[in-house]
Homo-oligomer: A and B are copies of this chain.
Amino acid sequence: MINVGVLGATGAVGQRFVELLADHPWFRLTTLAASDRSEGKPYGKIVNWRLDTPFPEKIAKVKVTATSPKSMKDVDLVFSALPAEIATDVEKEFADAGIAVCSNASSHRMVSDVPLVVPEVNPEHLGLIDVQKDKGSGGFIVTNPNCSTIMMVTALAPLRKFSFSDVRVATMQAISGAGFAGVAAMAIYDNVIPYIGKEEEKMETETLKIMGTLKGNRVIDAPFHVSASCHRVPVIDGHTMAVWVDIDEPLGTIKKAFADYKPPIKGLPTQPAESVHFFESEPDRPQPRLDRMRGRGMTVSVGRLREGVRFVAMGHNTIRGAAGASVLNAELIVKKKYL
């Protein structure tokens, strides 16, 4: 068992980390860091548990520590649910202290020696860990992409063998993506907000790195172009997206690629039975409320494949798209013996 901690343990993504790690077969959740005023108090007393799954009572008495490597001496790996503006320095500090950091924050995603990984898509990018290790203390940072990007690249994974140059995506994103207090009810109820700050840029750049090629010390961007239009809709969890990709193959070939898809990795505890679930014949799926918990929230669902090539992809944004993504990365790190 590897001792792990969570940074930013009381927020929306932090609570998902706690939920996923409470009974993890490989990780023992020993340390939870939150804001200074919570230091020393039991987690169960200070967290305002907002998930609809029961609070994991075994974690209730874990004492909350400050967000510093000194306070977390017994851990080998931390999961970061910190906001980007804080993550930039803090995650660096942990890595410098010899700790492995699996981060959901955007701060380091595009740094050249930091792997930006979805295990089913680019597990080999973990090779960048060696570049980081060569420079320093033995600690390192591994990041997962933005929640929308994760759904798209996972849905594109079965199509990588085909040639394409142009990807368009229009998202319909859930309110939980902005955190518990991020969207006012008055703003989104009976409404669509056709703007999410920096989301389109993230989808357009992160995708190219993830689907790019590791060459020596860095990743060569994938040779296609992404154009995104991002929208918030009144859905609690689950990002849905309409995708176009200019693959010049018969629809039957594409269909077969989705139906026969096998991810390049297996055996990770958080990995679902199906990384991509393909709705071949249902006319109106995937739907966030019905399909987001598929594979305990880790499966990306794809459906409505049509000429174009067009399809709809959907996944749980705070599980597959955030906390679950980081945990899956950590499992891959362990399996590949980087720890």
Residues of A at under 8 Å CB distance from B? 12, 50, 52-54, 168, 170, 172, 175-176, 179-195, 227, 229, 231, 233-236, 238, 240, 242, 244, 283-290, 292-294, 303-304, 308, 310, 312, 314
Rounded to whole Å, the gap between the CB of A173 and the closest CB of chain B is 10
Whether A172 contacts B186 by the Cβ 8 Å rule is: no
Contacts of A284 in B (CB 8 A): 193-195
Contacts of A192 in B (CB 8 A): 172, 233, 235, 238, 240, 287-288, 314
**What 17 additional pairs, Cβ within 8 angstroms, besides A170-B229, A172-B172, A189-B190?**
A52-B289, A52-B293, A54-B293, A168-B168, A175-B189, A181-B184, A181-B186, A182-B184, A184-B184, A185-B185, A191-B289, A192-B235, A192-B288, A194-B242, A194-B287, A194-B304, A233-B234
23 A-B residue pairs with Cβ-Cβ distance under 8 Å, sorted by A, are A50-B186, A52-B292, A53-B293, A175-B189, A180-B184, A184-B184, A184-B185, A186-B236, A189-B190, A190-B234, A190-B289, A191-B288, A192-B233, A192-B240, A194-B240, A194-B285, A194-B287, A195-B304, A229-B304, A229-B312, A231-B242, A233-B233, A234-B234
Whether A244 contacts B227 by the Cβ 8 Å rule is: yes
Whether A189 contacts B234 by the Cβ 8 Å rule is: yes
Rounded to whole Å, the gap between the CB of A42 and the closest CB of chain B is 16
Instruction: State the CA gap A233–B169 with chains docked (Å).
Output: 17
Rounded to whole Å, the gap between the CB of A210 and the closest CB of chain B is 22
Contacts of A233 in B (CB 8 A): 172, 192, 233-235
A51 nearest CB neighbor, chain B only = B290
Whether A229 contacts B180 by the Cβ 8 Å rule is: no
Rounded to whole Å, the gap between the CB of A260 and the closest CB of chain B is 20
Whether A308 contacts B227 by the Cβ 8 Å rule is: yes
Instruction: State the CA gap A170–B172 with chains docked (Å).
Output: 10
